[in-house]
Amino acid sequence: MTIGLEHYLVVSLLLFSLGLLGVVARRNLLVIYMSLELMLNAANLALVAFSRFNGHLDGQVMVFFIITVAAAEVALGLALIVALYRKHRSAHVEDLATLKL
Amino acid sequence: METFLFYIFAALTLLCGLLVVANPLSRNPVNSAMFLVLTIASLAGLFVLLHAFFLAAVQLLVYAGAVMVLFLFVIMLLDLKEEERRKIKWLGLAAGLVSVAAIVLIGARSIYASQPTGVASAPGVEGGTVPLGKLLFTAYLLPFEIVSVLLLVAMVGVVLLSKKELK
């Protein structure tokens, strides 16, 4: 049987749910951040699959922008995590319960 | 052959993704980061199967190269030895599993209900460098320039945040 759009969508859905599970269940700030990357990658896979099976390249351009913005977001987020760690000496979400830095 | 490769890459992606989130042997963030690199590499394989060659290269260079090096630097900068000693809260884990399962159910039902009709070789879009570059510098020129400004802003922000004293 040939691989259709739905196969890629199922993989994307499962990868997204794994990322969501990581965000919900894990309590290490860095692992939560990696799970966010998993969710972004799942969305990328769905967009590329749509682009392939609908005959437009626009989905791939969108993925290009997502990758760029994700790189910027990772740099900023990790800088924030390092700044938080300097203040609280912990990267565990339960130790970071206050809004003030 | 393509079917075979799809199943290999899909299984590799999901397995490594699972090991990022829940590794039964170790809860060290370094292991999670390494499995995230593997997940991203096998996703690049899936992109090649979808004929998105340029994006597969960008995925490997930007994600597996730059982003994961940044992650590893930060993990090793923060000394996270004490993380492994914390106990798992089973009630919270169960609640999270139930909510994620509900979302998976909704997604699966929507995929099943929409019945996508794509055939594997129907339109034949090639995501090489030339067509993507042409599109990027004509129809998407303004977003492209805005993204460059965004990268500059992010860089300034990171430099400001990384200073010793936040003012």
HEC-encoded secondary structure of chain A: CCCCHHHHHHHHHHHHHHHHHHHHHCCEHHHHHHHHHHHHHHHHHHHHHHHHHHCCCHHHHHHHHHHHHHHHHHHHHHHHHHHHHHHHCCCEHHHCCCCCC
Neighbours of B107 (CB within 10 A): 17
Check: CB of residue B11 under 8 Å from CB of residue A11.
Answer: no
Q: What integer best gives the mean pLDDT of chain A?
A: 89
Residue A100: inside a domain, yes or no? no
Using 50, 70 and 90 to split pLDDT, how confident is the model at A85? confident
What's the structural domain count of chain A? 1
- Give the closest of B13, B70, B121 to A15, CB-based: B13
Give the model's pLDDT for residue B28. Answer: 84
Range of the domain at A49: 5-95
Examine residue A27 and state whether it is found in any structural domain, yes or no.
Answer: yes
Find which of B74, B86, B109, B160 to mutate to test the A interface (most A CBs within 10 Å of its CB): B74
CATH number of the CATH domain containing A52: 1.10.287.3510
Contact B106, A16 (CB under 8 A): no
Percentage of chain B beyond pLDDT 90 is 49
Question: Using 50, 70 and 90 to split pLDDT, how confident is the model at A91?
Answer: confident
Tell me the count of A-B CB pairs closer than 8 A.
Answer: 232
Is the confidence at residue B79, as pLDDT, over 80? no
pLDDT digits (tens, 9 = 90+) for A11-42: 999 999 999 999 988 888 889 999 999 999 99
Domain for residue A49, yes or no? yes
Summarize pLDDT for B80-139 with one digit per residue, the tens.
Answer: 665 556 677 788 888 889 999 999 999 999 988 887 665 555 556 777 889 899 999 999
Contact A28 B29 (CB under 8 A): yes
